[in-house]
Amino acid sequence: MKRFLGVILVLLLVTSFLAACDEKELMPAKFTLSNVTVTPSTLYVDNMVDISSTITNEGEQSGNCTVNLTIDSYSDSKPTNTLASGESSEVSFSYSAETVGMYTVTISTPDDSESKTLTVMKMVGGGQTVGDWWVLDCSYENPGGKTEQDSSKLNVTVVGEGVVDGEPCYKANGTFKPAATRDAADMPLTLHIETAEIWTSKTAMLYLKMSSAIAELPGLPSTVTWTLTGDYGYPFEEGKRWTGSVRVVAGVLDEVTDLEFKVLGEETITVPAGTFDCWHIVAYEISSPDTYVNEYWINETEVKSVVKEVERSLWAGEETRVLASYSVS
């Protein structure tokens, strides 16, 4: 009997020992991050940004943790619920951007961290409004002498807002009267453009996209899309630079050219609509910094648009547009 009780006691001790060993082998709670989002990643001063992440317990024991948010000198934190092994929960933060700049947004747990970039911009002037309009006198000259045109007017009216490649913009309809006559850059064609849709960046007053109806290419896409990267938003200052590219699609043509943009400085220019203080911004191919393919004179407060533009890249010749009249709210 004593021997039997001894066996039972040994078995109980072994079982307890094994159970203790199993408990010690369980990995402690480990909290990892996934699906970290910053929405929107580009926004305006005084607007709200939402930052969220999925927190997952990849350990074998239950537990909770504190999730930390840092945006440069700003910080915030939130606790998670108790998460069982393999369980996940969502954590979200809100942040009001008060200063123009590029920020590093970092979410972290005791076991993991991930960073994203946040760009805060200032909207140019007071912004465009539906119904604002501009009339620009357009002239065109082909150095080869094939086509010249000095009488076309471009009527532009804001009809709403939109997004081009994630960039918020104003959308406008444009009409050339009479139709703009232009020489194709890469083919022996004379083109006639009557209407265009124009998307303008809210933060830089530069074109993001222009879609034109060309009589010689009926039903075929004809678009020019500019991609801006880097520190391209308002406020401008002399010497400010950023990079980008321009993609031209016209029928079978589909070409992309890398560009660099530079603010030459402030200039006062006179056009038929009056005299305005403008920012003079140029674009050029990186390999030819002294050859400007585009020049813009922008007044962001009174005109809220381009006062003058010279275009040397889209056609075989050079197109110049100057502001003749305008009405903005």
- CATH architecture observed for domain 133-327: Beta Barrel (2.40)
Identity of residue 141 = E
- Give me the pLDDT at residue 126, please: 64
What is the signed CA dihedral for 156, 160, 164, 167, rounded to 10 degrees? 110
- Give me the pLDDT at residue 113, please: 94
- Give me the pLDDT at residue 102, please: 81
Assign domain 31-121 one CATH number from 1.10.10.10, 1.10.3720.10, 2.60.120.10, 2.60.40.10: 2.60.40.10
- Give me the pLDDT at residue 224, please: 93
Q: Integer distance in angstroms from the first to the last C-alpha of the chain?
A: 103
Identity of residue 114 = E
- Give me the pLDDT at residue 217, please: 84
Half-sphere exposure of 120 (CA within 13 A, CB side): 18
**Can the peptide bond before residue 178 be classed as cis, meaning omega within 30 degrees of 0?**
yes
What contacts 198, CB < 8 A, 6 or more positions away?
Answer: 156, 171, 172, 173, 174, 207, 209, 210
Chunked into runs of 10 residues, the chain (329 residues) has average pLDDT values of: 46 49 76 92 80 94 94 91 93 87 91 90 75 96 82 94 87 95 83 92 89 87 90 87 92 89 96 96 94 94 94 91 95
Write down the domain spans for the chain. 31-121, 133-327
